Amino acid sequence: MLDERRFADWLSLLAPDIHYWMPIRRTVMLDDIESEFTKPGDMAFFDDDKSFLEARVQKLGTGFSWGEDPPSRTRHYVTNIRLIEQKGDELSVETNFCLYRTRLEADQDVWMGRRRDVLRRIGGELKIAKRHIFLDHTVLQSRNLSNFF
């Protein structure tokens, strides 16, 4: 859906209380590995709820989203899908991803990492209740982070 720019369809997959979060990764020594990623409530690339994600999608259609006009061309690769835990109506799933983006004539970005999702059954459908995105990168060379992971 994201690669086809079907953002409204993608939003329909999200639970009303989704937490969409991508912390900042730092290079740390082994004895400080617990602080490698910023914590919830600290600085993050994304720390969004559903209303914020809906506003981002709405802005994409206005022509005033300079980072996405002209729009990016993306390709999402998701692999190593692992069920981590099942509790009641929720499944915790980890995946590895590669997001490739090209924009304008020569801009290219590649982001790699892992996602930790919580999927919740709501009204008979699985919805994404949490998406935490952990990049492998510590330095981003991208001009913007306007894409969804």
Is 16 a domain residue? yes
Is 26 a domain residue? yes
Encoded tokens for 144: 């913007």
Question: CA 45, CA 22: separation in Å to the nearest integer?
Answer: 5
Confidence bin at 143 (pLDDT 50/70/90): confident
Cβ–Cβ under 8 Å, residues 131 and 92: no
pLDDT at 81 over 90: yes
Is 126 a domain residue? yes
pLDDT the model gives residue 69: 85
| All residues at 6 or more sequence positions from 126 whose CB lies less than 8 Å from its CB, including other chains | 91, 119, 120
- Strand (E) or helix (H) holding 57: helix 50-60
Domain extent for 73? 7-135
Q: Which amino acid belongs to residue 36?
A: E
CA nearest 33: which of 41, 25, 43? 25
Is 49 a domain residue? yes
Q: Starting at the edge strand that comes first in sequence, how are the strands of the sheet with 44-48 ordered?
A: 44-48, 14-23, 125-135, 107-122, 90-103, 73-87
pLDDT the model gives residue 111: 97
Q: What is the pLDDT of residues 18-34, one digit of tens each?
A: 999 999 999 999 999 99
Chain-centroid distance of CA 36 in Å reads 19
Is 128 a domain residue? yes
pTM of the model: 0.92
Is 148 a domain residue? no
Q: What is the CATH number of the domain that holds 113?
A: 3.10.450.50
Confidence bin at 63 (pLDDT 50/70/90): confident
Question: CA 147, CA 149: separation in Å to the nearest integer?
Answer: 7
Give the mean pLDDT of 83-106: 95
Is 46 a domain residue? yes
The domain tally of the chain equals: 1
pLDDT the model gives residue 66: 80
